[in-house]
Amino acid sequence: MNDNSVLNMTIYELEQWIIANNIADKEIYLITAFLFFAFLTVLLSKKYHIHEVVGYVFLGILLSPDIVKLFPYVGVDLRNLYTFILANMSYITQMALAFIAFTIGSKL
């Protein structure tokens, strides 16, 4: 399924496609991986005495679709799925920015 056909789907067709391809399960695994990496980032930032916000910025850079493309073990299908899930999970970005803003505010 190419990107244009995904964009032209109705909501019902999109839900059926997500159910058929188990995208919801993969999205939950991706959120879990993000939370695990965030936890590791906090641990490493405390160990090396740097601000957590700096760690979050570096984590965001490492997990961006442009950098994930460079990993040799990530196939084209997985890369497209990762980009698709990230594009549809904009609420995660908003929550992450809220946490970062809260962290900066608490440091001030």
Tens of pLDDT, residue by residue over 5-57, are 555 556 677 667 666 766 667 777 777 888 899 899 999 999 999 988 888 88
Let me know if residue 102 belongs to a domain.
yes
What total of structural domains would you count in the chain?
1
Residue 34 lies in a domain: yes
Can you give the residue range of the structural domain that contains 79?
A: 23-107
18 belongs to a structural domain: no
Residue 98 within any structural domain of the chain: yes
46 within some domain: yes
Mean pLDDT of the chain: 78
Q: Is 103 contained in some domain? A: yes
Q: Give the global pTM.
A: 0.62
Q: Which pLDDT does position 17 carry in this prediction? A: 67
> CA dist 30 to 34, 57, 85, 101, Å?
6, 18, 9, 23
Residues above pLDDT 70, as percent of the chain: 81
- For residue 13, being part of any structural domain is answered with no
Q: Give Cα separations from 91 to 45, 70, 81, 97, 103 (angstroms).
A: 25, 25, 17, 10, 18
Instruction: Collect all residues with Cβ–Cβ distance below 8 Å to 89 and sequence separation of at least 6.
Output: 27, 30, 31
- Answer yes or no: is 45 within a domain: yes
